[in-house]
Structures are given as C-alpha cells and as structure tokens.
Amino acid sequence: MNHTFARTSTLAALDIGSSKVCCVIAHIDRDKNIEIVGHGYNASLGIKNGIITDINQATLSVCNAIENAEQMANEPLTRVIINVSGEKTQSLMRQSQINLHKNRPISPLDLEKLITKGTSKINAVNGELIHLLPTTYHVDGGEPIKDPLSIYGETLSLDMLLGYYPTNMYKNLAAVVENAHLEITEKVFSAYASALACMVDDEKELGATVIDIGGGTTSIVTFKQGLPVKFSTIPVGGINITKDIAFGLTTSIAHAEDLKIRHGCAFLISQDATEVLNVYPVGEEDDSNIRQIHKSDLINIIAPRVEEIFELVAQKLDEHELKNATSHRVILTGGTSQLSGIRDVAALILDKQVRLGGPRNIPNLPKPLYNPIFSNALGMILFALNYTERKPQKQISHTNTELAGFGKILGWLKQNF
C-alpha cells in the first residue's frame, strides 16, 4: 500500500555502489512533495562489482556518507532504503490464477485473493526476494488488462515479476547497513530506482530499457506498457575502464580516473592523433617524470571496453527479446554515462534510439544532484514514496539506533578495533 505521511516525514536512500556510497535525505509532506534536505557522498571501499568483499571497509564507507548527509540535514537517521546490484540479480515471471463467480463482476476482493494466492507460493529457493511486482491481468486467458475491476469472467490471472538476489550476498549487504546502526526499510534493484528518476511516462508505456552504468556493474531494466518486465546485470562498469587505462599506461588508478574524466571518449576522432596528454608513471607523480602520449593512445584503451559493455548489454536485450525491436528506446544513466561519445557507441551497437538520462522526476533538486551519478539514490526516494509491492517480508533484526553522525563511526570502530 502507498505510504500515508504525517505533516512532514523523512525518507533516506543509501546507494551502496562499487565506486561510491551516496546517501540522500528527503522530507515528504502530506501532498507527497519532496524536499531534499541532505546528501552525502563518499568513495566506496570493500565493494567489488556490487558485492561486499570487506565488511569493515564497506561499513566505514557507509558511515562516512551517512554522516555527511546527516550533518547537512541536521538530523540523525535510523532507517534507510537500500539498492541491490550485482551480476547475480535475476528475474522471472510467475502467474497466479483464481476462479471467478460467474454471476458477478470482478471486485477488489477478487484482486486481493489473487495477489494473496500468488504471494503465498513464494519461497526462498531462488534467493532473497527483492521485488514482487504485479504487471498485467488476464480474464479467461485473454489479452492483457491493466484494470479488470467490474469485468465478468470465469478465471482471473495475474503476471507477477519477481526479482531475486543471492541470499548470502544480501546478508552481507544487510550486515554492512546494520553495522552502521541503521534499519533497512525497503530494498530496490539499482536500475529500477534509476528508471524511476530518469524515465518519462511515455517511455515506460511505449517500451524502453534503462541501462545504469555504474562503477563495477551495469544494471538493466526493461519497461513495457508502463511496467518493468525484466531485470538483469552485467559485472562490468566504469571501474573496468579506469583499470584498463592504469594498466595500459602504467599509471596510478587515481590518475587513470582523472584521464578518463577529463580526456576520455568512447571513439576516436582525427584530432586525437595529434593532441598530446601528460601521464605520470605509477609511483612517480611529480613533474620531473612526466611522459607524453597522444590522446589516441588513451582512446584506443577506452573504446574496446565500452564496446564490450554494450555487446554484453545487447546479449541481455536479446534475452529480453528486444534485440531486433528497433522502435524500443534506451536511456543511459549512471556515472559512466557521462563519458564523451558513449551515447553514439550505444546507438551503433544496440541499434536503438539512445538518450542520456539524469534525475528529472523530482522538482527543485539541489544543483549538485542534477547528475546521473545520483539517479539511483533519488529514484529510491520515488520508489519508497509510491511503494505498492505486496510480498512476504523477512524480519530484519533491529539494531541500536541511538548512535548518529560521528557516533555511528565511533561506535563501529569500538566494536571492531
């Protein structure tokens, strides 16, 4: 059911990514107007390809981001919405069906019975259930119907999109959040959250896919007739491009990231053969050891990895049965979508109309948040604001929520060192 808000309520989103951890705090009034009152951003440690690899480092990254957001909002957090991403995300369609009373039309009680029957069959065999989204109804096995109320029929069925994440991977993610003395209220796949922030209603209705290219993963969600129908993820993202540059030019990760941001492009142009860039050899970051390369050398490292990302995306779209649907649009978002020329490469490889997408569905955003790297976190606020999913919930243990801000970091340090 949708949330009922008091005069002012607080929602907080925690985007735990492979390259950054971001926290956004919003105040929501009775009319569901959103005011962003705090945001924090911190480089992530202990996370690779969306998977927790070091609980302690990941916890400290989360604590730092939370503290920054709390200080800006001037209020402590105890509960957060979190994102889930990683190669092992999976989705499948499940159908629920009931028999109808022949002498009366479909009622809200019938819909309740149908959804209850569908959720009762869900178990943990496939992993942690992240999403259970009702998509389309069918009366007597006919064409898809969005609203079957008041229609007569003999049977009513419902297609439900289920989204799963490996149980142990989710437990590690939950442990990081709980170590930061926070309670998880809701969880959402990264691409789905980004889609809510970036897409317009017509795109959802006509059919489009959002590709969120993050640091360590690229998350994908496909919409048809206004609703998501498929989730998937590939374990490649912007960090892979950065590491390719560092390896190819024998420079540090930090300098490679700077070269990617300032001079990177997804394809070569003629001027790249003559433009010269300075490169610092790894371990020798001083002006006396600068060596020079042509910009084309940098682009020749970046371009193959970008092409690989979209070739893997094309395979996923084929699994979504969209590879040959040229009318289907694609929206690119996430930090790596800011790489120059990436839209053109995506359009060429995917054979789709492609646009770049940033946060657009929350008015009056603070200027720093008008950036694709915040699509995920802002989309989580919209997801929680309009939450309608019905699914069996696993009880997440409540933690001591007295610590806030620096207290969260101090408390965690005392427990672990």
Q: Where are the beta strands (DSSP E) in 349-416?
A: 353-356
Q: Which fold has domain 200-360?
A: Nucleotidyltransferase; domain 5 (3.30.420)
Domain 90-165: assigned CATH number = 3.30.1490.110
Q: Are 58 and 14 in contact (CB under 8 A)?
A: no
Per-residue pLDDT tens digits for 136-157: 899 999 988 888 999 999 999 9
Residue range(s) occupied by CATH 3.30.420.40 in the chain: 1-88+167-198+361-366+375-417, 200-360
Residue 262 is predicted with a pLDDT of 94
Residue range(s) occupied by CATH 3.30.1490.110 in the chain: 90-165
Q: Note the Cα 411 to chain centre separation in Å.
A: 29
In the predicted structure, residue 413 carries a pLDDT above the cut 80: no
**CA torsion through residues 138, 143, 149, 155, sign:** negative
State the Cα–Cα distance between residues 54 and 62, nearest whole angstrom: 12
Per-residue pLDDT tens digits for 22-78: 999 999 988 889 999 999 988 999 998 888 999 999 999 999 999 999 999 999 999
Cβ contacts of residue 311 below 8 Å, gap of 6+?
A: 349
**Angle, in degrees to the nearest 10, between helices 167-179 and 55-73:** 50
State the Cα–Cα distance between residues 260 and 335, nearest whole angstrom: 12
Per-residue pLDDT tens digits for 161-205: 889 999 999 999 999 999 999 999 999 999 999 999 999 999 999
CATH architecture of 1-88+167-198+361-366+375-417: 2-Layer Sandwich (3.30)
Q: Where are the beta strands (DSSP E) in 216-352?
A: 218-224, 227-234, 276-279, 291-294, 329-333
Residue 55 is predicted with a pLDDT of 94
Distance set, CA 157 to CA 107, 113, 114, 153, 307 (Å):
14, 11, 7, 11, 41
